[in-house]
Amino acid sequence: MFSNSVKYALNAVLYLAINANGSQKILARDISEAIAVPKAYIAKLLQELVRHNIISSERGPKGGFYLTEANRKVPMIKIVEMIDGEELFKSCVLGLEHCNEAKPCPLHEKISPYRWSLLTALEFNTIQDFADEISEHKSYLPQ
* Domains (range + CATH), the chain: 4-135 (1.10.10.10)
| 110 and 36 Cβ atoms separated by less than 8 Å | no
Chain-centre distance of CA 138, in angstroms? 18
pLDDT category of residue 91 using cuts at 50, 70 and 90:
confident
Q: Across residues 64-90, what is the average pLDDT?
A: 93
pLDDT attached to residue 93: 85
pLDDT attached to residue 74: 98
Q: Across residues 85-103, what is the average pLDDT?
A: 86
Phi, psi of 117 (to 5 degrees): -65, -45
Higher pLDDT, 143 or 140: 140
